[in-house]
Amino acid sequence: MKNILLYIICSFSLTASWAQLIPYRVNDKWGYSDTSGKIIIEPQYEETEFFTEDFAFIKIDTLFYGINSTGKIITEAYRFHGEFSEGLCHVQNTKFKSFYINTLGLSVFNKTYDALESFSEGLAVVSVNKKLGIINRNGDWVRPPNFDTSSQKFQSGFLLGISKGKYFYIDKQGKTLSLPDSIIPAGIFSEGIAPVYVKTRSKIAPYGLTYVLQFIDSSGQVIMRDFINDSIDYSEYITIEKEFRDGKCVIKNRNDIGWDYYFLDRQKRFSPLFSYAKHIGDSLYLGILGMYMPDLRIMDKNFYVMGQFQTKPTQVGEIGNGLIPVRDKEGKWGYMNSNCRLLIPHRYDGASAFKNGYAMIILNQKRGVINTQGKHFFKD
Protein backbone atom coordinates (compact mmCIF):
# COMPACT_ATOMS: atom_id res chain seq x y z
CA MET A 1 0.00 0.00 0.00
CA LYS A 2 2.85 2.35 0.87
CA ASN A 3 4.50 1.77 -2.53
CA ILE A 4 1.20 2.37 -4.34
CA LEU A 5 0.68 5.65 -2.47
CA LEU A 6 4.25 6.75 -3.27
CA TYR A 7 3.65 5.96 -6.98
CA ILE A 8 0.46 8.03 -7.01
CA ILE A 9 2.23 11.00 -5.38
CA CYS A 10 5.17 10.83 -7.81
CA SER A 11 2.86 10.50 -10.80
CA PHE A 12 0.86 13.54 -9.67
CA SER A 13 4.04 15.60 -9.20
CA LEU A 14 5.26 14.66 -12.68
CA THR A 15 1.92 15.59 -14.23
CA ALA A 16 1.70 18.86 -12.30
CA SER A 17 5.20 19.91 -13.38
CA TRP A 18 4.12 19.65 -17.02
CA ALA A 19 0.72 21.30 -16.51
CA GLN A 20 -0.21 23.67 -19.33
CA LEU A 21 0.68 27.29 -18.65
CA ILE A 22 -1.15 30.00 -20.57
CA PRO A 23 0.23 33.48 -21.34
CA TYR A 24 -1.79 35.84 -19.15
CA ARG A 25 -1.83 39.65 -19.29
CA VAL A 26 -2.72 42.07 -16.49
CA ASN A 27 -2.77 45.64 -17.80
CA ASP A 28 0.54 45.90 -19.69
CA LYS A 29 2.43 43.08 -17.97
CA TRP A 30 2.46 39.42 -18.97
CA GLY A 31 2.86 36.28 -16.90
CA TYR A 32 1.29 32.82 -16.90
CA SER A 33 -1.85 31.23 -15.53
CA ASP A 34 -3.13 27.70 -15.46
CA THR A 35 -6.03 26.65 -17.71
CA SER A 36 -8.57 27.96 -15.17
CA GLY A 37 -7.05 31.44 -15.18
CA LYS A 38 -5.27 31.15 -11.82
CA ILE A 39 -1.99 33.08 -11.89
CA ILE A 40 1.04 30.79 -11.66
CA ILE A 41 3.88 33.10 -12.76
CA GLU A 42 3.20 36.72 -11.82
CA PRO A 43 2.75 39.22 -14.69
CA GLN A 44 6.09 41.04 -14.89
CA TYR A 45 7.23 40.80 -18.53
CA GLU A 46 6.66 42.82 -21.68
CA GLU A 47 5.48 39.67 -23.47
CA THR A 48 5.14 35.96 -22.85
CA GLU A 49 4.68 33.15 -25.33
CA PHE A 50 3.27 29.63 -25.19
CA PHE A 51 5.36 26.84 -23.74
CA THR A 52 6.95 24.12 -25.85
CA GLU A 53 7.49 21.29 -23.39
CA ASP A 54 9.21 22.99 -20.41
CA PHE A 55 10.44 26.04 -22.36
CA ALA A 56 8.94 29.42 -23.30
CA PHE A 57 10.20 32.78 -24.51
CA ILE A 58 9.52 35.95 -22.51
CA LYS A 59 10.46 39.55 -23.31
CA ILE A 60 12.30 41.98 -21.02
CA ASP A 61 13.49 45.41 -22.16
CA THR A 62 13.03 44.54 -25.87
CA LEU A 63 15.09 41.32 -25.57
CA PHE A 64 13.89 37.72 -25.41
CA TYR A 65 14.90 35.10 -22.85
CA GLY A 66 14.00 31.46 -22.37
CA ILE A 67 12.39 30.36 -19.12
CA ASN A 68 11.23 27.03 -17.70
CA SER A 69 7.86 26.31 -16.09
CA THR A 70 9.07 27.61 -12.70
CA GLY A 71 9.79 31.01 -14.25
CA LYS A 72 13.57 30.63 -14.08
CA ILE A 73 15.52 32.29 -16.91
CA ILE A 74 17.68 29.57 -18.52
CA THR A 75 19.17 31.30 -21.60
CA GLU A 76 21.12 34.38 -22.57
CA ALA A 77 19.37 37.36 -24.16
CA TYR A 78 18.19 37.10 -27.76
CA ARG A 79 17.39 39.82 -30.28
CA PHE A 80 15.20 37.46 -32.26
CA HIS A 81 13.80 33.94 -32.12
CA GLY A 82 11.85 31.63 -34.39
CA GLU A 83 9.46 28.81 -33.46
CA PHE A 84 10.30 25.33 -32.29
CA SER A 85 10.18 22.75 -35.05
CA GLU A 86 11.37 19.17 -34.67
CA GLY A 87 12.64 20.04 -31.19
CA LEU A 88 14.90 22.91 -32.28
CA CYS A 89 14.45 26.69 -32.53
CA HIS A 90 16.64 29.28 -34.23
CA VAL A 91 17.69 32.37 -32.26
CA GLN A 92 19.97 35.38 -32.65
CA ASN A 93 21.89 36.72 -29.65
CA THR A 94 22.94 40.29 -28.88
CA LYS A 95 26.22 39.72 -30.74
CA PHE A 96 24.22 39.05 -33.93
CA LYS A 97 25.19 35.36 -33.91
CA SER A 98 22.46 32.96 -35.07
CA PHE A 99 22.23 29.35 -33.90
CA TYR A 100 19.80 26.64 -32.78
CA ILE A 101 18.71 25.78 -29.25
CA ASN A 102 16.73 22.84 -27.85
CA THR A 103 13.87 22.86 -25.33
CA LEU A 104 16.39 22.87 -22.49
CA GLY A 105 17.65 26.23 -23.74
CA LEU A 106 21.00 24.75 -24.76
CA SER A 107 22.85 25.60 -27.97
CA VAL A 108 23.28 22.66 -30.34
CA PHE A 109 25.93 21.91 -33.01
CA ASN A 110 28.33 24.46 -31.44
CA LYS A 111 28.04 26.41 -34.71
CA THR A 112 26.78 29.87 -35.62
CA TYR A 113 25.38 31.22 -38.88
CA ASP A 114 24.47 34.54 -40.46
CA ALA A 115 20.78 33.58 -40.74
CA LEU A 116 18.74 30.41 -40.61
CA GLU A 117 15.30 28.84 -41.06
CA SER A 118 13.30 26.32 -39.03
CA PHE A 119 13.92 22.60 -39.44
CA SER A 120 11.60 20.63 -41.69
CA GLU A 121 11.84 16.97 -42.67
CA GLY A 122 15.09 16.77 -40.70
CA LEU A 123 16.83 19.58 -42.61
CA ALA A 124 17.23 23.36 -42.41
CA VAL A 125 18.37 26.18 -44.68
CA VAL A 126 21.15 28.38 -43.26
CA SER A 127 23.08 31.37 -44.56
CA VAL A 128 26.86 31.81 -44.49
CA ASN A 129 28.62 34.71 -46.24
CA LYS A 130 25.44 35.66 -48.12
CA LYS A 131 25.00 32.16 -49.59
CA LEU A 132 22.50 29.50 -48.56
CA GLY A 133 23.23 25.89 -47.72
CA ILE A 134 21.46 22.96 -46.07
CA ILE A 135 22.32 21.22 -42.79
CA ASN A 136 20.94 18.11 -41.06
CA ARG A 137 20.03 17.66 -37.41
CA ASN A 138 23.67 16.94 -36.54
CA GLY A 139 24.73 20.29 -37.98
CA ASP A 140 26.52 18.61 -40.90
CA TRP A 141 26.35 20.05 -44.40
CA VAL A 142 23.96 18.23 -46.73
CA ARG A 143 24.62 20.91 -49.32
CA PRO A 144 27.31 23.57 -48.80
CA PRO A 145 26.32 27.21 -49.28
CA ASN A 146 26.03 27.76 -53.04
CA PHE A 147 22.59 29.18 -53.83
CA ASP A 148 21.04 32.62 -53.33
CA THR A 149 17.55 32.16 -51.92
CA SER A 150 14.92 29.46 -51.44
CA SER A 151 11.56 28.48 -50.08
CA GLN A 152 11.59 28.43 -46.26
CA LYS A 153 11.33 24.70 -45.71
CA PHE A 154 11.44 21.24 -47.23
CA GLN A 155 8.11 19.87 -48.34
CA SER A 156 7.46 16.45 -49.89
CA GLY A 157 11.22 15.89 -49.88
CA PHE A 158 12.22 19.01 -51.84
CA LEU A 159 13.24 22.62 -51.43
CA LEU A 160 12.76 25.26 -54.14
CA GLY A 161 16.08 27.03 -54.65
CA ILE A 162 17.09 30.06 -56.69
CA SER A 163 20.56 30.97 -57.92
CA LYS A 164 21.42 33.75 -60.38
CA GLY A 165 17.74 34.06 -61.25
CA LYS A 166 17.32 30.37 -62.08
CA TYR A 167 14.81 28.19 -60.20
CA PHE A 168 15.53 24.55 -59.34
CA TYR A 169 14.51 21.81 -56.91
CA ILE A 170 16.87 20.41 -54.25
CA ASP A 171 16.21 16.95 -52.77
CA LYS A 172 16.97 15.77 -49.22
CA GLN A 173 20.42 14.56 -50.26
CA GLY A 174 21.26 18.11 -51.35
CA LYS A 175 21.22 17.22 -55.04
CA THR A 176 19.55 19.29 -57.76
CA LEU A 177 16.67 17.53 -59.49
CA SER A 178 17.64 17.14 -63.14
CA LEU A 179 15.13 18.82 -65.46
CA PRO A 180 15.40 19.71 -69.16
CA ASP A 181 15.80 23.36 -70.10
CA SER A 182 12.22 23.37 -71.40
CA ILE A 183 10.86 22.92 -67.83
CA ILE A 184 10.83 25.79 -65.34
CA PRO A 185 9.74 25.27 -61.68
CA ALA A 186 6.52 27.15 -60.97
CA GLY A 187 6.10 26.44 -57.25
CA ILE A 188 7.03 24.20 -54.35
CA PHE A 189 6.53 20.45 -54.04
CA SER A 190 3.40 19.44 -52.14
CA GLU A 191 1.78 16.06 -51.64
CA GLY A 192 4.48 14.51 -53.82
CA ILE A 193 4.19 16.69 -56.93
CA ALA A 194 5.23 20.15 -58.10
CA PRO A 195 3.91 22.65 -60.66
CA VAL A 196 6.16 23.54 -63.59
CA TYR A 197 5.88 25.58 -66.75
CA VAL A 198 6.81 23.60 -69.85
CA LYS A 199 7.90 25.22 -73.10
CA THR A 200 5.85 23.76 -75.92
CA ARG A 201 4.22 24.63 -79.22
CA SER A 202 1.11 26.72 -78.77
CA LYS A 203 -2.27 25.28 -79.81
CA ILE A 204 -3.66 28.79 -79.98
CA ALA A 205 -0.91 30.12 -82.24
CA PRO A 206 0.46 26.96 -83.95
CA TYR A 207 3.59 28.68 -85.21
CA GLY A 208 4.51 30.08 -81.82
CA LEU A 209 5.94 28.69 -78.57
CA THR A 210 4.47 29.15 -75.13
CA TYR A 211 4.81 27.87 -71.56
CA VAL A 212 1.97 25.73 -70.18
CA LEU A 213 1.27 24.55 -66.65
CA GLN A 214 2.04 20.89 -65.92
CA PHE A 215 2.97 18.86 -62.82
CA ILE A 216 5.98 16.62 -62.21
CA ASP A 217 6.65 13.86 -59.68
CA SER A 218 9.75 13.42 -57.52
CA SER A 219 11.68 11.89 -60.45
CA GLY A 220 11.02 14.93 -62.64
CA GLN A 221 8.55 13.12 -64.91
CA VAL A 222 5.47 15.01 -66.06
CA ILE A 223 2.41 13.26 -64.61
CA MET A 224 -0.32 15.89 -65.10
CA ARG A 225 -0.95 17.80 -68.32
CA ASP A 226 -3.82 18.80 -70.68
CA PHE A 227 -6.36 20.33 -68.34
CA ILE A 228 -9.82 20.03 -69.90
CA ASN A 229 -12.89 21.62 -68.35
CA ASP A 230 -16.28 21.80 -70.09
CA SER A 231 -14.61 20.58 -73.30
CA ILE A 232 -12.15 23.50 -73.23
CA ASP A 233 -8.40 22.97 -72.91
CA TYR A 234 -7.22 25.42 -70.26
CA SER A 235 -3.56 24.38 -70.42
CA GLU A 236 -2.32 27.63 -71.97
CA TYR A 237 -4.49 29.86 -69.82
CA ILE A 238 -4.05 28.69 -66.24
CA THR A 239 -1.33 29.47 -63.72
CA ILE A 240 -0.70 28.07 -60.25
CA GLU A 241 -2.00 30.12 -57.32
CA LYS A 242 -1.48 27.77 -54.36
CA GLU A 243 0.13 24.35 -53.97
CA PHE A 244 -1.70 21.09 -53.24
CA ARG A 245 -3.28 20.77 -49.82
CA ASP A 246 -5.85 18.19 -48.76
CA GLY A 247 -5.77 16.81 -52.30
CA LYS A 248 -6.42 20.03 -54.21
CA CYS A 249 -4.44 22.98 -55.50
CA VAL A 250 -5.70 26.43 -56.55
CA ILE A 251 -5.28 27.57 -60.16
CA LYS A 252 -6.41 30.72 -61.92
CA ASN A 253 -6.88 32.13 -65.38
CA ARG A 254 -7.28 35.75 -66.44
CA ASN A 255 -10.65 37.19 -67.43
CA ASP A 256 -11.61 40.65 -68.74
CA ILE A 257 -11.42 42.35 -65.31
CA GLY A 258 -9.26 40.08 -63.18
CA TRP A 259 -8.95 36.37 -62.45
CA ASP A 260 -11.14 33.29 -62.33
CA TYR A 261 -10.18 30.72 -59.67
CA TYR A 262 -10.64 26.96 -59.50
CA PHE A 263 -9.66 24.13 -57.21
CA LEU A 264 -7.98 21.30 -59.13
CA ASP A 265 -7.53 17.71 -57.87
CA ARG A 266 -5.03 14.99 -58.83
CA GLN A 267 -7.50 13.59 -61.40
CA LYS A 268 -7.45 17.03 -63.14
CA ARG A 269 -11.05 17.70 -62.18
CA PHE A 270 -12.04 21.36 -61.89
CA SER A 271 -14.20 22.78 -59.11
CA PRO A 272 -16.95 25.29 -59.89
CA LEU A 273 -15.70 28.73 -60.93
CA PHE A 274 -15.00 31.25 -58.15
CA SER A 275 -13.98 34.88 -57.99
CA TYR A 276 -11.47 33.83 -55.33
CA ALA A 277 -10.60 30.52 -53.71
CA LYS A 278 -8.35 29.31 -50.89
CA HIS A 279 -7.78 26.42 -48.49
CA ILE A 280 -8.76 27.06 -44.88
CA GLY A 281 -7.62 23.70 -43.45
CA ASP A 282 -9.17 20.43 -42.25
CA SER A 283 -10.18 19.60 -45.86
CA LEU A 284 -12.38 22.69 -45.99
CA TYR A 285 -12.34 25.28 -48.76
CA LEU A 286 -13.42 28.87 -49.15
CA GLY A 287 -14.97 29.94 -52.43
CA ILE A 288 -16.10 33.51 -53.19
CA LEU A 289 -18.60 34.37 -55.91
CA GLY A 290 -18.96 37.95 -57.14
CA MET A 291 -16.84 41.04 -56.54
CA TYR A 292 -19.13 43.81 -55.32
CA MET A 293 -21.66 41.85 -53.25
CA PRO A 294 -19.71 38.61 -52.84
CA ASP A 295 -21.22 35.32 -51.76
CA LEU A 296 -18.78 33.43 -49.50
CA ARG A 297 -19.08 29.68 -49.14
CA ILE A 298 -17.31 27.19 -46.90
CA MET A 299 -17.27 23.82 -48.64
CA ASP A 300 -16.14 20.27 -47.97
CA LYS A 301 -13.90 18.20 -50.27
CA ASN A 302 -16.85 17.49 -52.58
CA PHE A 303 -17.68 21.23 -52.70
CA TYR A 304 -20.91 20.77 -50.80
CA VAL A 305 -21.73 23.98 -48.95
CA MET A 306 -21.33 23.37 -45.21
CA GLY A 307 -23.47 26.31 -44.14
CA GLN A 308 -24.68 29.76 -45.07
CA PHE A 309 -23.35 32.95 -43.51
CA GLN A 310 -26.16 34.90 -41.84
CA THR A 311 -24.11 38.06 -42.33
CA LYS A 312 -21.50 38.22 -45.05
CA PRO A 313 -17.95 38.36 -43.64
CA THR A 314 -15.30 40.58 -45.17
CA GLN A 315 -12.44 38.20 -44.33
CA VAL A 316 -12.10 34.53 -43.37
CA GLY A 317 -9.04 32.99 -41.73
CA GLU A 318 -7.70 29.46 -41.20
CA ILE A 319 -9.62 26.88 -39.20
CA GLY A 320 -8.07 25.63 -35.96
CA ASN A 321 -9.63 23.42 -33.28
CA GLY A 322 -12.89 23.55 -35.26
CA LEU A 323 -13.14 27.36 -35.18
CA ILE A 324 -12.64 29.83 -38.04
CA PRO A 325 -11.72 33.51 -37.43
CA VAL A 326 -14.15 35.70 -39.36
CA ARG A 327 -14.27 39.50 -39.70
CA ASP A 328 -17.61 41.31 -40.09
CA LYS A 329 -18.39 44.47 -42.06
CA GLU A 330 -17.67 46.62 -38.99
CA GLY A 331 -14.14 45.25 -38.94
CA LYS A 332 -14.58 43.12 -35.81
CA TRP A 333 -13.44 39.51 -35.56
CA GLY A 334 -15.22 36.53 -34.06
CA TYR A 335 -15.13 32.76 -34.54
CA MET A 336 -17.51 30.45 -36.42
CA ASN A 337 -17.60 26.71 -36.89
CA SER A 338 -17.58 25.03 -40.32
CA ASN A 339 -21.38 25.30 -40.50
CA CYS A 340 -21.09 29.10 -40.27
CA ARG A 341 -22.55 29.21 -36.77
CA LEU A 342 -21.11 32.08 -34.71
CA LEU A 343 -19.66 30.64 -31.48
CA ILE A 344 -17.48 33.53 -30.26
CA PRO A 345 -19.03 36.96 -30.99
CA HIS A 346 -17.51 39.62 -33.23
CA ARG A 347 -15.71 41.89 -30.76
CA TYR A 348 -11.98 41.70 -31.47
CA ASP A 349 -9.79 44.00 -33.55
CA GLY A 350 -7.64 41.05 -34.64
CA ALA A 351 -7.82 37.28 -34.29
CA SER A 352 -5.44 34.41 -35.08
CA ALA A 353 -6.25 30.75 -35.71
CA PHE A 354 -6.68 28.49 -32.70
CA LYS A 355 -3.90 26.06 -31.88
CA ASN A 356 -3.93 23.54 -29.02
CA GLY A 357 -7.11 25.15 -27.70
CA TYR A 358 -5.95 28.79 -27.57
CA ALA A 359 -5.73 31.81 -29.86
CA MET A 360 -4.15 35.26 -29.74
CA ILE A 361 -6.53 38.18 -30.24
CA ILE A 362 -6.38 41.98 -30.14
CA LEU A 363 -8.92 43.92 -28.08
CA ASN A 364 -8.74 47.67 -27.48
CA GLN A 365 -5.32 47.72 -29.16
CA LYS A 366 -3.90 45.17 -26.70
CA ARG A 367 -3.01 41.52 -27.27
CA GLY A 368 -4.63 38.76 -25.27
CA VAL A 369 -5.31 35.04 -25.22
CA ILE A 370 -8.68 33.28 -25.34
CA ASN A 371 -9.69 29.63 -25.29
CA THR A 372 -12.22 27.88 -27.51
CA GLN A 373 -15.06 28.80 -25.15
CA GLY A 374 -14.18 32.49 -25.46
CA LYS A 375 -12.70 32.73 -21.95
CA HIS A 376 -10.26 35.65 -21.60
CA PHE A 377 -6.78 35.13 -20.18
CA PHE A 378 -6.21 38.86 -19.57
CA LYS A 379 -7.68 41.73 -17.59
CA ASP A 380 -7.29 45.49 -17.53
The arrangement of strands across the sheet holding 238-245 comes to: 238-245, 248-254, 259-265
The per-residue pLDDT for 203 is: 80
Average confidence (pLDDT) per 10 residues, the chain, 380 residues: 38 45 97 97 97 96 97 97 97 96 95 96 97 97 97 97 96 98 97 96 81 96 96 94 97 93 97 96 94 86 87 92 96 96 97 97 97 97
The per-residue pLDDT for 303 is: 92
pTM: 0.89
The per-residue pLDDT for 19 is: 57
Element (H, E) at 200: strand 194-201
> What is the full DSSP assignment across 229-291?
ETTEE-TTTEEEEEEEETTEEEEEEE-SSSEEEEEEETT--B---BSEEEEEETTEEEEEE-S
Q: Which CATH number fits domain 75-176: 3.20.20.300, 3.30.830.10, 2.40.128.630, 3.40.30.10?
A: 2.40.128.630
How far is Cα 210 from Cα 214, in angstroms, rounded to an integer?
Answer: 13
Q: Which of 30, 21, 114 is nearest to 65 (CA)?
A: 30
The amino acid sitting at 56 is A
